Structure 1
Amino acid sequence: MALVGVYSYPKSGNTWVRGIIAGAMNASAKAIPDLHEQPLSEAKEFRGFRFFKHHGGRDVTKWQGQDVPSTHIIHIRRNPLDVFLSYLNFISANVTNTASIPFDSVESIVGTDLFDLYFSSFTITGHIAPRFSLETGDYFAHNAYWMKFNAKPIVRLRYEDLLNAPLPTLGFLKDWIGITDEDLNTMLERAGKGTKKDGKFYWRQEEKNYYNFLREDQIATFLKYRGDECRALGYDPAYLMAPPVR
C-alpha cells in the first residue's frame, strides 16, 4: 500500500490539497491526518493509497514515536510574499493570536513599524514564527530541500497553478487513484465548501494578495536579497514585481 506525505511550508495550500484528496474519499479532511495533531493510524485507505499532512522541512520517517514509511511525496509551494502575508494573518489575533509581538490584524498594522519589522524578519530569516521554525525550516531552506528531493517519487505543485488551472495540475491523481475529470471537479467543489474564504484562517485565497499590503519599493528590496532564491523556486523576480491582473 502506498503512503503519501503531503508536505508544504505553512500557509502554502496544504490544507486545501488535503481537502481535495479527502473529497475523493467522500470523507472529512481528518481522513488525511495532520501529523502535528493526529496519529498516522487515522489515515484512511483509498484504492491502495493513504495520505498524511506535514509541514516538515525534511522527509519525516519517524514522528512523535511512530514510524512514517512514506512511499510517495506531494509538495506544495507558494510565492513567498503571499506566504508572508498569509502567515502574518495566521499569527494575528484574527486567527491564532500567537505573534511574538501581538497585533489585531494585518490590516491594522500596514504602514507601521511593526509591519515593517515582521517583513524584515521574513526577508532576513525566512520565517516570522520562531517557535514552529524548528519543524518547518525557514521558507527558503524548506522549499529548496523539496525542490531537490528525489529519494522517492515526488509531485511538486504550485499554489498559483492550483488556483488557475486545477484540473491539469491535479491530473496525476487520475493515474494514482483512478478518477476522472468529473471526479476532480466534484473533489474541488467539496474542498471549496470546506475551505471557503472567511477572512480568518481562509483569509484571501488569491494570487498576489501581497500587492494589497506591500509597496513596490518593499517588494524590490525583498527581491534584491532573495531574488535568486525565488527564481530557483519558479518565481521569477519579474513575475513577483508585476502587479496582479484583476
Structure 2
Amino acid sequence: MLMRTWAALTCAVAMLTMTGCMAPAHMFMEVEKADHARSTERGMALLRQHIKTLQDQGDPMGDYYYAMANADGWIDEVKDPKAITALFEKAAAKGAMDARILLALQVATSEPVPGRLDYAMSPRGNVEAWEQGLAKLLPLLQQQCYARRLVVDEGRPQVAYYSIAYKVWPRYRDGHSIQNAQKEWELRLKKDAHKQEIWQSIDEGCNNVGGEYLDLIDQVR
C-alpha cells in the first residue's frame, strides 16, 4: 500500500511537469533500442569475421558469403549489379554450390542481382528465361536443395538456410500474369500441376534443414 501511495504521489508531482511520468518508460525504450543496436552491430561484426576467416582458409564459401553480403547491402564495398554478379560467378568457379544455385535462379527470374531471398520469385514476364534458368537449377537442387545466407537473429549471428524450390512451385500452382500496355492482364505462365509436383517435392524434402548459430567464433574486439 505504501509503494502504491508513493507511486501515485510521484506521478501526481510529475503531472506538473507534463513529462515526468512518461520519462521512465521512454528511457527504458531508448535503452532497449540501444542494446538491440549494439547486439546487432556485434552480430554483424562476427559475420564479417566469419567471412574473412573462410576467405583466409581458401574456402569458396567465404567468397560466396562476401557476394551475398554485398547483394544484401550490409557490406557495401561493391554496389554495381554486374560487379556483384561477378562476385557470385567467382565463388561458383571456386566450387560454391550456393553461388551456382543463385546464379541459375537469377537467370530464371531476370533479376539484376542474385540472392534476393526475401522476395517472391516470378518470371517477370520472361517465360523463356524462366524455363532456361530452371533447367539449370533443377539438377543443382537435386544435389543441394538450399542456399545459405548470413543473418543476425535477435543479436545472434546465424547461417540461415533457404529452400530454393519453395521460390518456384507456387508459380506453377498459381500461374503468372503481367499487365500489358493497355493495363490488361496477360497470362504468361500457365498452371502446371506436374511441374508444381516436381518442385514441391524438392521443397518438402528440404524442410528438415535448419540454421546454424555462429556464437563460438572468436570474440571480436
The verdict on a shared fold, with TM-score over 0.5 as the criterion, is: no
**Larger relative CO (CA 8 A, sep 6+): 1 or 2?**
1
TM-score, normalised to structure 1's length?
A: 0.26
Structure with larger Rg: 2
